[in-house]
Amino acid sequence: MAGRIKTVLEMIKFEHSVFALPFALTGALLAARATQHGWPTLRQILWIVIAMVAARSAAMTMNRIADLRYDRENPRTKQRALATGALSVQFAWFFTVVAVALFFVAAWQLNLLALKLAPLAIAILFFYSFTKRFTSWSHLFLGFALGISPAAAWIAITGGLDSRMLILCGAVTLWVGGFDVLYACQDVDFDQQAGLFSVPKRFGIANALLIARAMHAGVIGLLGWLAFSFGLPWPAWMGIAVVAALLAYEHSLVKANDLSKLDAAFFAVNGYISMLFLLFWGAAVAVWRV
């Protein structure tokens, strides 16, 4: 049983929940302080976390189901659980349905608007899995799928949406899209053989790295705009500086003729970015005079 659970967690890359969840929690903190001059309740935080993990688990499993043919053919992915038969496709579908159901329960527990928008959120998450078949910009679809999380958290807290949250959604979209462009550099040869689309395939690895840098420069600009629009105090600006430094370090690890450090750039650095962003912006919200 423990081995099966471990295989499932590996299939959905459970540890990567750290990427989007801190941004969602930041959205929740901003919402509670800006609109209620208080803090999210533990109940709200619990259901936001459950909703985020359930939605991401469903989306990742759908991605593995949709890409099963390619996972079996790609040397980098042929050891994944569905590709090897360690988990069956039937089980993957069952797991997806359970995760979606849990997501709907979490949305229902938060508020009516969250429940009404839950089908749209699932549609966006599932749609990403098919975008690499027809557009080179699937990376931005992935970014948007994660980028809606701060707005979703704001809705979960307030039952409405502040347009300023769209700035943070844009920042997360560019952040995720940028590092997904980096990650896709590993699969250029396979994408060409399989007829899949990506920025590295269309523009070449060297130009893809420049595009990813431009996306991440946009992240810093959007975060600055967001901090200014809310009038956040100095910890928010320090957090932006830390994010900028880590993004610069991430890009220093990856070169067109050397992708050997890509895993370090993708996993470790981006995990630090999201967690430190929550830490600094949480501190900013704590000392914020609303």
**CATH number of the domain enclosing 29:** 1.10.357.140
CB 282 within 8 A of CB 233: no
Closest Cα to residue 107, out of 129, 123, 92, 122? Answer: 122
* Residue 16: both structure tokens together: 């990567």
Domain count of the fold of the chain: 1
Write down the pLDDT at residue 15.
60
- Reported residue count of the chain is 290
- Residue among 239, 190, 193, 230 at smallest CA distance from 75: 190
d(CA 140, CA 36): 33
* pLDDT for the residue 9: 62
Q: Is the pLDDT of residue 264 over 70?
A: no
Dihedral angle, C-alpha 44, 45, 46, 51, nearest 10 °: 90
| Per-position DSSP letters for 241-274, written without gaps between them | HHHHHHHHHHHHH-BTTB-TTHHIIIIIIHHHHH
Report which DSSP code applies to 260: T
Q: What is the average pLDDT value for the chain, to the nearest integer? A: 93
Domain range spanning residue 265? 2-287
Return the percent helix, strand and coil in the chain, to nearest 5.
80, 0, 20
> Is the pLDDT confidence value at 4 over 70?
no
CA distance 104 to 101: 5
pLDDT tier at 193 (50, 70, 90 boundaries)? very high
Cβ neighbors of 215 (< 8 A, separation 6 or more) are: 174, 175, 177, 178, 181
What is the predicted pLDDT for the residue at 3? Answer: 65
Residue 18, pLDDT > 80, answer no
Question: Cα–Cα distance between 162 and 290 in angstroms, integer?
Answer: 15
Amino acid at 114: A
Phi/psi of residue 175, nearest 5 degrees: -65, -50
Closest CA to 26 of 220, 225, 228, 282: 282
Q: Is the pLDDT of residue 217 over 80?
A: yes
Note the pLDDT tens digit of each residue in 111-156: 999 999 999 999 999 999 999 999 999 999 999 999 999 999 999 9
Euclidean distance between CA atoms 48 and 118, whole angstroms: 12
- Retrieve residue 120's tokens: 């749209």
The answer to whether 276 touches 239, Cβ cutoff 8 Å, is: yes
